[in-house]
Amino acid sequence: MEEFLIQNEQLVIWLIAALLFGLFAVPFWIKKIRLEKHTHVQDIRAEEFGLKEPVSLYPKVNPDICIGSAGCVAACPEEDVLGIRNGQGVAVNKALCIGHGLCERACPVDAITLVFGSKTRGVDIPRIRENFETNVPGIHIVGELGGMGLIQNAFEQARQCIEYIRKDLKPSGRRADSEIYDLLIIGCGPAGLSATIHAKRAGYHFKTLEREGIGGTVRYYPRKKLVLTNPLDVPGVGKIHKKQILKEELIEVWESIVEKQQLDEDIVTGVNVDEIRRVMPGGVGVGGDGWIGDVGAGAHSGDWGRSSDGGAGVVGSGDGKGAEDADNAGAKPIFELICGNQTWRCRKVLIAVGRRGTPRKLGIPGEELDNVAYSLLEPDHYTDESIMVVGGGDSAIEAALALSEQPGNQVSISYRKEKFSRLKPLNRLKLNEALEEGRIAVYRKTNVIENRKDSVVLQHEDGREEVMANNSLFVFAGGILPTAFLEKAGIRIDTKFGEA
Q: Fill in the DSSP letter of residue 378.
A: -
The CATH number linked to 179 is 3.50.50
Rounded-to-integer distance, Cα 87 and Cα 70, Å: 9
Q: Which of 143, 60, 63 is closest to 94 using CA atoms? A: 60
Residues of the chain with pLDDT under 70: 1-8, 12, 21-26, 28, 100, 148-150, 174-178, 220-238, 240-244, 281-331, 356-357, 498-500
Of 370, 371, 424, 418, the closest CA to residue 396 belongs to 424
Residues 124 and 496: their CA atoms lie apart, in Å, by: 6
Say whether both 382 and 470 belong to one domain: yes
Tens of pLDDT, residue by residue over 108-155, are 999 998 888 777 777 788 888 889 999 999 999 998 887 766 677 788
Q: Which residues contact 119 (CB under 8 A, 6 or more apart)?
A: 497, 498
| 428 dihedral zone (left: phi>0; alpha: psi -120 to 50; beta) | alpha
* Per-residue confidence (pLDDT) for residue 320, from 0 to 100: 35
Domain match, 344 and 460 both = no
What is the per-residue pLDDT for 447? Answer: 96
Residues 191 and 296 both lie in one domain: yes
Tell me the H-state helices in 410-490.
425-437, 483-488
393: domain CATH number?
3.50.50.60
What's the pLDDT at 300? 29
- How many domains are contained in the chain? 3
What are 385-421's pLDDT values in tens digits?
999 999 998 889 999 999 999 999 999 999 999 988 7
The total of other beta-carbon atoms located within 10 Å of residue 45's CB is: 14
Domain boundary residue among 57, 92, 121? 121
The helices-and-strands tally (H runs, E runs) of the chain is: 12, 29
| Domain of 445, in residue numbers | 360-478
What local confidence, expressed as pLDDT, does residue 494 receive? 83
3-class state of residue 327 by DSSP: helix
Q: How many CA atoms lie within 13 A of 216 on its CB side?
A: 24
SS3 per residue for 268-280? EECCCCCEEEEEE
Supply the CATH number for residue 79's domain: 3.30.70.20
Distance CA 300, CA 240 (A): 51
